Amino acid sequence: MKYSGWPDPGELVVGKIDEIEDFGVFVDLEEYEDKRGLIHISEVASGWIKNVRDHVREGQIVVCKVLDVDEESQQIDLSLKDVNDHQRSEKIQQWKNEQKADNWMELALGEETDDEVYTEVANELIAAHGSLYQGFKQAAIHGEEALEETDLSADNLDAIVETARENVSVPYVNVTGYVDLENPSPSGVDGIREALEAAEGNGEVPDEVDLEVSYVGAPEYRIEVQAPNYKTAESQLEESAERAVAAIEDHDGEGEYHRERRTDDE
């Protein structure tokens, strides 16, 4: 997504070197629509510069600091030398993340989506989480809850969450569910124990998944799952509950899975 406005002085921007002259370098800004900036030769590198081409090349992707913006004259002054290695690396990663998020937007909304609709949805994500990428990341981790403050339609919200869960990689996510287990049959406690062992996977849970079952209060048990992504976590949570319910039913007992903890009144 390219912004239609202007960058602010002090902002770091990503650009592609379009033209090199003796007096400086012209840069097309990758994040802004139809915006071009100039790096004066004195801002290309520290010290005396004999030949600008010794420092930059056409087509090169660079990170620059915005020194000044004159909208009336359509001029943006940039500096290359004022950006350190850490800033450059961080900004490039941020830019790449936004490119990923652009692709996710197309997957979620469809390639034929009207530009106006695309912009409206994108602005909602940016307003809620600061960037498209963070919007998708939070949707992957927290689902619809991450977007509850937005004005997205139900269809767009569902599409964003589904796409995020299928495509966004996050360090890990935690999900929790509950299962009620009752066993009035002669197997009693032993049947419950077998159901809990089944819930824990009997050693067959994937290595990247941490699954724990704990007692809440009769007949309720908590299932907590930590996994690399939301889709895997949800899947493992549901499979755990299904195993427990199937195991208790084998003992003629009853089991029920639910996402929220029961209250005493329920």
pLDDT digits (tens, 9 = 90+) for 153-205: 999 999 999 999 889 887 788 899 999 999 999 989 999 999 999 999 877 78
236 and 184, same structural domain?
yes
**Residue 119 maps to a domain:** yes
Has residue 132 been placed in a domain? yes
Q: What is the pLDDT of residue 115?
A: 84
Residues 63 and 106 in one domain: no
Query: Per-residue pLDDT tens for 123-160?
Result: 999 999 999 999 999 898 888 888 988 999 999 999 99
pLDDT exceeds 60 at position 263:
no
The structural domain count of the chain equals 3
Shared domain for 69 and 128, answered yes or no, is no
Confidence at residue 208, expressed as pLDDT on a 0 to 100 scale? 79
Q: Could you tell me if 186 and 162 lie in one domain?
A: no
Last-in-domain residue among 29, 49, 82: 82
190 and 144 fall within a common domain: no
Q: What is the mean pLDDT of residues 243-263?
A: 89
The CATH number of residue 163's host domain is 1.10.150
Considering the domain architecture, whether residues 92 and 155 belong to the same structural domain is answered as yes
- Give the Cβ contact number of residue 112 at 10 Å: 6
Asked if residue 2 belongs to a domain, the reply is no
pLDDT in tens, 23-57: 999 999 999 999 999 999 999 999 899 999 999 99
pLDDT at 112: 78
Question: Quick one: 109 and 121 in the same domain?
Answer: yes
Question: Is the pLDDT score of 120 beyond 80?
Answer: yes
Residue 266 has pLDDT above 70, yes or no: no
pTM of structure: 0.65
Distance CA(150)–CA(128), nearest Å, equals 7
- In the chain, pLDDT over 70 holds for what percent of residues? 98
Residues 54 and 76 in one domain: yes
Both 181 and 197 in a single domain? yes
Q: Is residue 73 part of a domain?
A: yes
Among 167, 194, 229, the domain boundary falls at 167
Q: Which residues contact 11 (CB under 8 A, 6 or more apart)?
A: 65, 66
Segments forming the whole domain that contains residue 179: 173-258
Three-state SS at 123: helix
CATH number at residue 237: 3.30.70.1130
Strands (E) located in 7-158: 12-21, 24-29, 36-40, 61-70, 75-79
* Helix H or strand E encompassing 48: none
What is the pLDDT, as a whole number, of residue 26? 97
